[in-house]
Every structure is written in structure tokens, then in C-alpha cells.
A and B are shown apart, each in its own frame.
Chain A
Amino acid sequence: MTRISALLLATLMAFPAISNSTATPPIGQLIYLPAKPVAPADFMAVPVAMTENGKVFMQWMFVPAQALANLPAASITPPALMPALPMTVAPAAPAAATPKPAANSTHARSMTATCNACHGTDGKSHTAIPPLAGLDKAYFVQQMQDFKSGKREATVMHQHAKGYTDEEFQQMADFFAAIKP
């Protein structure tokens, strides 16, 4: 690890107890952890509180994932610090469970649309990446489960499949099965 990232790691490790206080955070304190890093080799851009001329600023810092791996997932939410910071940050939504979309909503259409960038609009691929339009439902669900479990080897699909639930595999399967290839 380079000298500077070691220093940053040490700084972040010095403030393990992150609280929801509205007091001005000390210099170098990680005040908001946007997301857990997913790969050890990754870096993450995180906002860190810095002070200059008596004012608290948020400064983007590039931090190795290892530095964040041991920090608690919950951290200071931006609104608690808003009185002290000039940064415009969206107010956090009320702390409720992430809502489940209705089964008959256009959630399936929106969710499967992310597949289209590789598999073609409506799953109609014209490239080396296989099409999804018209695939048998049970087959589709089985493949996604096998990607997720590692039973079916893949270069990239395991990394996608692990991001979805079994229920979502069913919704995707229903959606693509209904499209005439």
C-alpha cells in the first residue's frame, strides 16, 4: 500500500465510532459510507470531512477498499451533518424497508431493461452474446440459479446473477418468455 493510502487507512481507522451527532466532525473523519466495496482490488470515492479556515468541507477521497471493509455499514447520514456542511446532499428517505414493487407494475419491464445493453433490446441479440427473447421459463430460471450458485461456469453472468433474488429470476423469465424472438 502506498504511503498516502496507508495514512488514510490509519486516519479512517482512528474513527471507528461513527455517530449521528450534529457536532462538527473532526478532520479526516469518514462521514458517509455510500456503499460497501465489492472487490478487494477496488478503490472507492468517499466523502471525507475536512476543515479549512474553520469551515467544514466534504472532500472526495479515493480510498482502497480494504480501508472500508471493516467499517460498520451504518454511518453518519448526510442530513445530520447538513447544518455544518455547505455540500448539497439529498435528504435521506424515511428509514423504512425498501418497498416491494407490485407484481403487475412495470417493474419487470424496467428491471429486465438492464439486460438489454448486452442481450439486445427485448432480449433480441444479434451478437455473440446469446438472446433471451422467447427462452423457456424454467430453463431461464435454472440458468440464472446455476450462474448464481457457480454450477454453470461463466465469465460475467455469475457476477450479475448474484445481484438478484429467485423471485426476480421468475419475473425476468416470465417477461422474456412472452417475447417472440
Chain B
Amino acid sequence: MSMQRRDFLKASAIGLAAGGLSSRAHANAAKAKVVIIGAGFGGATAAKYIRKWDPSIDVTLIDREAKFVSCPLSNLVLAGLKTLDDISRTYDGLKSHGVNVVVDEVTAIDTDKRVVKTTQGNFPYDRLILSPGIDFRFDQIEGYDAKAQETILHAWKAGPQTLKLRQQVESMPDGGLIVIGMPLAPYRCPPGPYERVCLIANYLKRAKPKSKIIMLDANPDVASKKALFMKAWGTLYKDWVEYRPNSKVLKVDANNMTVSTEFEDFKANVINVIPPQRAGQVAELAGVRTDSNGVWCPASFVTYESRAKANVHVIGDSVLSNYPKSGHMANNMGKVCANAIVEILNGRDPNPVPILANTCYSAVSEDKAIHVATVFRYEAAKDQMTAQPGGGVSADLSEVEAVYAEAWAEGIWNDTFM
């Protein structure tokens, strides 16, 4: 291990000398350049913490969007309980840490020459961090082509689709049917789809009480916080929610507004399909989406360096792992990765026992929430993040936890972007 590190340091020193120092007019030349693609919970956190822990490292953060819209709490927008502005943040805080924020589309990544290309120009790097989130495997569902995607939304990346799905639900006549389809695990945000069912039901109960939701879950059972979601549906939304396990969505027809499982067709006013997912396309550009199905990115749990490409790190939902794909985990992966890169670039060893803690809140109504919390610790013998004993969920649907859920969101947005 240490021999590899010595060799790496030799190689990177040669690379740095050959590549020349940063061309920016700095009083002190940058020690190294880190380029980060994806300014969500993972990438933005990594950018901030690298600058915080070693401001002599140049950090460029590239994202196609000009600002951040949070997937956590976006289901409250669907319920009419929050606005999109409430859950949005700018990148100004990151700029105040000296992060160079570039709003652009990445067109190519040359992992040999260590250059990221966008429409605006080239960004050379010593270390690259990819935090591209997820992309959708629409091809896994018959009929879910580009045309169908205009009507049948996923709203699983917060932003314009969140507002559009809200509009669809709001314009539905009372007595209408909403069908929500969700994929087999692993997918982004295990409790998210069930929270969506609760919050849309909450809106229907208030505003369109003759309407219904049918949830088609590909999984054999509720995949997260099961007892608590079942209690919410049973006690708060009994007349509005029908939950169907083992009901994978196989086909959609946007013209006839039908959605089909193996055994049944449903005609609905609103169809919301959350398709099966894979690591974001940028991971493919770098050649790191290399698990057996080309879906997720195998990476070290100590440094998040890709198992396939040296000097390319992957964090967030894109990583092949046994732990949940959550914003909280992405934020913490960003810090582990940031620390590892800062240590390596300073000739030290990365933290050999990284710890990731996950706390995940779900709103079940306008005033109650539930959570799950787990601590994961790196176990070298198995080369994995091992869930520690003692983690668990809420005792019950809770008003106190709804307060903490709001605080959690404010806190993590601050920690990530301010």
C-alpha cells in the first residue's frame, strides 16, 4: 500500500511539474487542482471541505444547473406545503470559500491526460471527483420514450418536474386516480417514494377527498421504515392509499394514460413513474460505471477512488454500495473523499477508518415526521462499510421529529452550501 503511494506521489509530482503551475494570478501557486463534477450534496460538500481543509488546493466545481434544488423536502412541494424557492440554494456560499463554480455541460473526460472538457473550455485536474447522481433507465419500461416522458413524469430530480407534477395533481378532478410506480432497490432515497404517497394523500384528503392513489412497488415489501409508513397509511390515509407490492411497472402508454404491471392495467388521471436508475451519464464519460451491469460505480470506501480509473473519485448515489443512496450519505461521502484527497495531496495517509452516519427524515403529514439513523464504519477485513449495531427508526409518527426534520434540512443545506 505504501509503495503504491510513494509511486503515486512520484508520478503526480512529475505530472504537476510537467503540467506547470496554475495559470491563475495567485500570490502562492496552487498545490494541486481538483475538479468536481456535480454540485449536489456530494460534490458541493467535497468542494467546500477541500477548500476549508487546504485552501492551497484549487477547486473547480462544474454543474449544468445554475442553482441547487433539494430532492429532500420536494415531496412537500407536491403537497402544496412548500414552494420550490423554499428548497433551493445558490452556489454563492461555495464561491465565498474560493470554489470556482462553472455552470456548464461536461462534453468529454480524458482520464489519461486528466482533462475535463465542457462547452466553455478545458479543465485539467490532478484529482477528479464525480458526483453525478442518477440517470434513469427509461428503456427498462416499455413505451417510456421521450414523448411519453413529457406527460409521465418522474420528479425524482427536484426542479421543473416537481412543479409540473404538482400542477398535474392540482388540475386533476376530484375523484381522480393517481398511480405512482417505483423501482426495485437499490434506487435513490429508499423512503422517498413512500413519503411521496403520504404527502400527496395529505393533499388529496384536504382538497380532493374523493380521489385515490395506487402505489405500484416493484419490491416485495415496503423498503424503508415499513411499520411507520404502514401506520401512516392505515391511520391517516386509509381511504386514499392503496399499496401494491410485487407490482413492477412494465409498460406505460402516455396517449391512453395507462400504466401496466405483469397482471394488470391501470388507467389514471396522473401517472408518476420513478424508473430504475443508474449512475449519472458523466460516470460513463469517465469510464467508471463498471459494475457487472454498467449501472453503478465501484469505488474504494477509504478514498472513493474509482476501482477502474486512477485519480478519479466517485461519491454520492453513483457509488456501488450496500448502504442507502441518500443526500445525507452523499454529504458525508463528500467529506470522507475531501479528507482523503487533502491527505494524499499533502503526502499523508487517508483516514483508514472512515465513518459515515446517515440520518434520514420523512414527512408523513403537515405536522408529523419519522426517521431512520444508522452509523456505518469501514471494516478493512471485508473492505466494506459495516452498519453498526444500535441504529434504528422512530418510535412513532412524531410532531417533535417534524421540527427536527425541518432543522435537519436547514442544517445540511448550510453544511453543504454555506
Contact = CB atoms under 8 A, between A and B. Distances in A.
Q: Do A and B come from one complex?
A: yes
Interface of A: 1-2, 4-5, 8, 34-39, 41-46, 57-58, 60, 62, 64, 77, 85-93, 95-101, 105-107, 109-111, 113-121, 125-129, 148, 155-156, 158-164
B322 A43 contact: no
B384 A64 contact: no
A155 B400 contact: yes
B387 A37 contact: yes
B292 A87 contact: yes
A140 B240 CA distance: 46
A48 B398 CA distance: 37
Mostly, the A contact residues are loop
B283 interface: no
Interface in B293-335: 298, 300, 307-308, 322-323, 328, 331-332, 335
Interface residues of B, number: 82
A1 B221 CA distance: 8
Given A38-B387, A88-B307, A120-B411, A113 B380 contact: no
B322 A88 contact: no
A43 B221 contact: yes
Given A101-B353, A107-B353, A127-B411, A92 B381 contact: yes
B373 A156 contact: yes
Interface of B: 49, 52-53, 184-186, 219-221, 223-227, 245-246, 290-292, 298, 300, 307-308, 322-323, 328, 331-332, 335-336, 339, 342-343, 348-349, 351-357, 359, 371-394, 398, 400-401, 403-404, 406-408, 410-412, 414-416, 418
Contacts of A119: 411
Contacts of B408: 117-118, 127, 129
B415 A35 contact: no
A111 B411 CA distance: 18
B407 A2 contact: no
Given A88-B290, A106-B339, A4 B380 contact: no
A136 to B, nearest CB: 22
Nearest to A5: B220
Nearest to A128: B407
Contact of A107 (B335, B351, B379, B418): B351
Given A43-B223, A117-B412, A121-B418, A162 B332 contact: no
A159 B388 CA distance: 9
Contact of B357 (A45, A114, A128, A129): A114
Nearest to B369: A155
Given A44-B322, A89-B298, A99-B353, A38 B394 contact: no
A159 B392 contact: yes
**Residue of B332, B386, B410, B411 with most partner-chain A CB within 10 A:** B411
Contact of B380 (A35, A85, A91, A96): A96
B380 A99 contact: yes
Contacts of B336: 110
